[in-house]
Amino acid sequence: MKKPKWVIEKEQSRRADATQTLWLFGLHAVRDALLNPARAKLRLVTTRNAAEKLAEAIESSGVTPEIMDARKFDVPIDPGSVHQGAALETRALDWGPLEETCLAQEGQMPLVVLLDRVTDPHNVGAVLRSA
């Protein structure tokens, strides 16, 4: 029996999503991603200073960083980004369907954080790290 077109398109979309990567940057974001066993760690680029600050997370992740000069920090992120000398190429985490993610496991709170009109990115990071 032949698969319906929508099933084929959905499968193709999932495969395409799995090959797309994204860059996380900044000391806290990179540290947390390195320490997350569910996170794919494809490429870690740091300055020498950032590598020293992230030494424990780098060691526990098993990833070998590419050390770059701070003036030639060549990763595909906005040049004006505050990367703090650390960037990690990774894939998006698969959280599953939103409906399932929002359901609380027995004895736990649901995994939902809603933010609106946040103007300070430090606040977003703090909320996400403590959520």
Tell me the per-residue pLDDT of 105-124, one tens digit each, with 9 for 90 and over: 788 877 778 888 888 877 88
Instruction: Please name which of 16, 13, 18 lies closest in space to residue 91, comparing C-alpha atoms.
Output: 18
pTM: 0.69
Cα dihedral angle (29, 30, 36, 38), rounded to 10 degrees? 100
Q: What is the mean pLDDT of residues 69-98?
A: 88
- The domain segmentation of the chain, as residue ranges, is 5-94, 96-131
Residue 48 CA to residue 69 CA, distance in Å, equals 8
* Fold designation for 5-94: 60s Ribosomal Protein L30; Chain: A; (3.30.1330)
Residue 126 has pLDDT above 60, yes or no: yes
The confidence band for 81, taking pLDDT boundaries of 50, 70 and 90, is confident
Residue 8 CA to residue 59 CA, distance in Å, equals 41
